[in-house]
Amino acid sequence: MTGDAPSTPLQAADGHAFTLLHCLPAQPRARLLWLPALGVAARHYLPLAQALAAQGIAVYLHEWRGNGSSALRASRAQDWGYREILEFDLPASQQLLALHDQRDGALPWIIGGHSLGGQVACLHAGRVPACFRQLWLVASGTPWWRCFPAPRGWLLPLAYRFLPWLAHRNGVLPGRRLGFGGNEARGLIRDWSRVGLSNRYAAVGLHEDLEGQLRQVQGRARAVVMAHDWLAPTGSMQALLAKLPRVQATTVVLDAATLRVRADHFHWMQAPEPVAEALLRSFD
């Protein structure tokens, strides 16, 4: 049973208000800041959070701007991209981990995420490399078209040009109708698509070398790949991990027999215990 989880209202430095769900065990041994996939509200990761909390991991479920508890919704008047997430939203969520360290005692911090969440988790770790020495990545990887198998990979550059055009024309990307994400801000789709074309992370309006920052991340990573995930195949995860040369990474591939559900991009969320077990094997 998922049930309700405690939450804390937060406000980013630019005024964006959202709520951070958290599952805190009685005697935690680490704190995990978890980032969802594109268009997925934080509450959908409560089963994963509860499975990890049962093994002593305090889990904090970040909410994407424009989803779930976020006070904003993407529109012609409301736009954002990687810059706002990295500069405003994630520092607000991280501050709650710091407050709980002050209140209950300092613990090791882990950052991780699913799909786009895993990518942005790496970017955030690059901006604050002293804070996170462990990365947990699930069904994630760079969207760079060259790391996807043919023939699908050959078609991706077309998608990476069409989707930003559609978002600009429409004011938002109508992801619900397309079956890809939610109704997404055009700036977010612009930043994501540029990575898909160039394999280089950058954020419009944020004058930092995000690629260089990735190379400064140190520690360990646990990467979980789903055996039949065409949205984040093994090559995509490997290309993301290659951007972290100072991180010792271990990759595990989970099949349907292990997961007891389809081994694809989203079905594992229905029964996340095997994923939690795979992540926990890396934790001392």
Written as six digits, the tokens of 101 are 């360290």
Q: What are phi and psi of 99, to 5 degrees?
A: -65, -40
Cα gap 231→249, rounded to integer Å: 21
Written as six digits, the tokens of 43 are 């509450």
Cα gap 121→36, rounded to integer Å: 10
Distance of CA 174 to the CA centre of its chain: 21
Whole-structure pTM over 0.75, yes or no? yes
Residue 119's Cβ-side half-sphere holds a number of Cα atoms within 13 Å equal to 28
**pLDDT exceeds cutoff 50 at 165:** yes
Contact 60, 22 (CB under 8 A): yes
Cα gap 40→80, rounded to integer Å: 17
Q: pLDDT digit string (tens) for 112-163?
A: 999 999 999 999 999 999 999 999 999 999 999 999 999 999 999 999 999 9
Residue 201's Cβ-side half-sphere holds a number of Cα atoms within 13 Å equal to 27
Strand partners, 9: 19
Cα gap 57→222, rounded to integer Å: 15
Cα gap 112→115, rounded to integer Å: 10
Name the pLDDT band for 1 (thresholds 50, 70, 90).
very low
pLDDT > 90: what percent of the chain?
A: 94
Q: What are phi and psi of 180, to 5 degrees?
A: -140, 105
Q: How many CB atoms lie within 10 A of CB 237?
A: 26
Cα gap 63→85, rounded to integer Å: 10
Q: pLDDT digit string (tens) for 57-73?
A: 999 999 999 999 999 99
Residue ranges with strand state E in the chain: 7-11, 17-23, 30-35, 57-61, 109-114, 134-138, 172-174, 183-185, 219-226, 247-254
